[in-house]
């Protein structure tokens, strides 16, 4: 299910004009980004996807998917500006996207790092990571009987 949540988060970002004004939709991706790719860009990555409502009868379905939204730019100011736009658009976002009902998305912290680049031909990049928690209802389980 976390793949659907990632897709839903990407949909929310691409539907935010505040975000797409800073970063074109084509550069908001959950795929890899080339070291020489155009900047700025946003890359999504799942950190964890945990059960939030374990119950004795196994009917628990609410899960929390923690996602890092990496806002990449050539300087710290631009990177932080994108991160702030992401925070504003994501915190409290809810609804249905990609057939997945997102109960609520909560922003859970922002950090910034500078990646100097490993190769001599690479330029350094500033990465502002906005961590969000997406609360969603997963599909009901259908346990297999072990025989």
Partner 1 sequence: MAGVSGFGSTFTFDGGASANIISISMDGAKLTAIDITTIAERHRTFTAGVIDSGTITVEANYDTGGGQSKAWDQISITAASAAPVAKSFSISAGGAYTISGSGIVTDFSTKIGIDSVLTVSFTVKVTGALTIADTA
Binding stretches for partner 1 (CB under 8 A): 52-60, 62, 64, 133
As measured in angstroms, the least distance from the Cβ of 4 to partner 1 is 20
As measured in angstroms, the least distance from the Cβ of 23 to partner 1 is 29
**What is the Cα–Cα distance from 54 to 24, expressed in whole angstroms?**
40
- Scanning the chain, the segments in alpha helix (DSSP H) are 2-14, 17-20, 76-90
Q: DSSP code of 139?
A: P
Of 18 and 141, the one with the shorter C-beta distance to partner 1 is: 141
As measured in angstroms, the least distance from the Cβ of 21 to partner 1 is 32
Q: 3-class DSSP state for residue 23?
A: coil
Of 78 and 133, the one with the shorter C-beta distance to partner 1 is: 133
In 3D space, the residue among 125, 136, 112 whose CA is nearest the CA of residue 9 turns out to be 136
Of 45 and 62, the one with the shorter C-beta distance to partner 1 is: 62
């Amino acid at each position: 299910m976390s793949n659907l949540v990632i897709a839903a988060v990407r949909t929310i970002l691409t539907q935010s004009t505040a975000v797409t004004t800073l970063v074109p939709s084509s550069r908001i991706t959950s795929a890899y980004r080339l070291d020489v790719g155009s900047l700025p860009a946003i890359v999504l990555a799942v950190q964890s996807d945990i059960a939030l409502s374990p119950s004795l009868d196994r009917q628990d379905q609410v899960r929390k998917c923690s996602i890092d939204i990496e806002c990449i730019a050539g300087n710290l100011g631009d990177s932080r500006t994108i991160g702030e736009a992401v925070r504003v658009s994501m915190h409290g976002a809810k609804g249905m996207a990609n057939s997945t009902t997102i109960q609520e998305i909560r922003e859970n912290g922002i950090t910034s790092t500078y990646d100097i680049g490993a190769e001599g031909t690479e330029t350094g990049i500033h990465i502002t990571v906005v961590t969000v928690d997406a609360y969603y209802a997963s599909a009901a389980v259908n346990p297999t009987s072990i025989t």
